[in-house]
Amino acid sequence: MAYCTQSDVLGQIQMSSLIQLTDDDNTGELNTSVLNTVIAAADDQINAAIANIYQVPANPIAPPITSWSLTITCYMLYRRRLVPDEKNNFTENYRSVMDMLNKVNNGTYHLNLTQLRDFSQVAFTGQGTIYGVQGSNMPANSM
């Protein structure tokens, strides 16, 4: 089950633009296969960011996940047509979503989902140095 749908995307991008963004064969029609591939790629980005703490795919879908998937999808649709970030209307929101996903991944933002494990069990707390990992129990010369 995808985190966002074609109708969600149509709430952000007009059909005529969506056709241009997906119609690789110049048929003048929406290529739903391309759209679904982009949605799946967006969902994969989300899943990769949350999988160390939450079961993926998220079920039920926590409220921000649909919005995040939609933003990433819209951003990626324009990027696949090589629209530069400064002309992509979704760049700023995409960067905010990626920041939020990083916060989920490092345990500073929590989703309303059942956690697979406590973040403290998977967090890396050591600080790397040229001699090894500071704060770990492993001697630097055993690396």
Q: What is the structure's pLDDT at 136? A: 45
Q: What are phi and psi of 31, to 5 degrees?
A: -95, 95
Does residue 139 have a cis bond before it (omega within 30 degrees)? no
Q: What is the structure's pLDDT at 52? A: 85
User: Half-sphere exposure (CA, 13 Å, Cβ side) for 34?
Assistant: 18
How would residue 13 be classed by pLDDT, with cut points 50, 70 and 90? very high
Residue 48 has pLDDT above 50, yes or no: yes
| pTM metric for this prediction | 0.80
Between CA 22 and CA 9 the distance in angstroms is 12
Between CA 44 and CA 115 the distance in angstroms is 18
Is 93:70 a contact under the CB 8 Å cutoff?
no
Is 74:135 a contact under the CB 8 Å cutoff?
no
In whole angstroms, how large is the CA radius of gyration of the chain?
A: 19
Residue 38 has pLDDT above 90, yes or no: yes
**Neighbouring residues of 140: CB distance < 8 A, sequence distance ≥ 6:** 129, 131, 132, 133
| Segment holding 10, helix H or strand E | helix 6-10
Helices (H), 11-109: 15-22, 32-50, 63-80, 91-105
